[in-house]
Amino acid sequence: METLGGANRMVPFSWFVIDLKRSSNISKEILGSVCQILKDWALNLYYSISKYLFELE
């Protein structure tokens, strides 16, 4: 039996997959918000770097 998370949590991997399919809408929302956060972070980083380089000139 495949388990997820080692010996601490004896959860069969197939149950995890079934549960993931059942909560796919929630997962998509979470994934969307994580992607949005990463995109905002990347844009902030880009603007910070370009501002810093602009100040150096």
Q: Which domain holds residue 30?
A: 25-57
Query: Is residue 14 domain-resident?
Result: no
DSSP helix/strand/coil, 39: helix
20-44 pLDDT, tens digit per residue, is 666 677 777 888 888 899 999 999 9
Query: What is the rounded distance in angstroms from the CA atom of residue 48 to the CA atom of residue 20?
Result: 38
Does 34 map to a domain?
Answer: yes
CA 2 to the chain's CA centroid:
24
Q: Give residue 56's pLDDT band: very low, low, confident or very high (50, 70, 90).
A: confident
**Residue 37, in any domain of the structure:** yes
Give a yes or no: residue 29 inside a domain.
yes
The angle at the Cα of 21, spanning 16 to 25, to the nearest 5 degrees, equals 125
Q: Based on the structure, what is the number of domains in the chain?
A: 1
Confidence (pTM):
0.45
